[in-house]
Amino acid sequence: MKSKLALSAIVAAVAVFSQGAFAQASSPTRAEVKAEAKKGSLAPAGEGPQASVPKTTDKTRAERKAQAKADEKAGNIKPAGEGVDDKTKVASGSDKTRAERKAQTKADAKAGKLTPAGEGATK
């Protein structure tokens, strides 16, 4: 029993120390890290590459506000939200009443048109 415990302890120790050796072999040396830092190729903390956004515009704030008011009066601005026009909304619900749907289902069941449970729709 003691030999099993000793053997498993040795195997665990070898596994732990071998991971550290492999990890250190692939990482750069301290001198390489210092040389890269002195080169200045690293960005300061929290300042990664950012998308370029034009910071200037050809219009003043007053001109933009006037344009927005004119667009609002003309109805060219979409309302806040999902951005779906009233004309393109999909009609929700059914055009039949519940009683009509039940009657249709009963007629389909009587005629054998319903898909049996578990078989799914066929294409």
pLDDT for the residue 28 = 80
Q: Are the C-beta atoms of residues 55 and 61 closer than 8 Å to each other?
A: no
Residue written as tokens 């294409």? 123
The full DSSP string for 19-88 is HHHHHHHHSPPHHHHHHHHHHT-SPPTT-----------SS-HHHHHHHHHHHHHHT-SPPSSS---STT
pLDDT per residue as tens, the chain (123 positions): 677 777 677 877 767 666 655 555 678 888 888 888 788 766 667 776 666 666 777 889 999 999 999 998 998 887 777 655 555 555 667 788 999 999 999 999 999 988 888 887 665
pLDDT for the residue 1 = 65
pLDDT for the residue 83 = 59
pLDDT for the residue 111 = 94
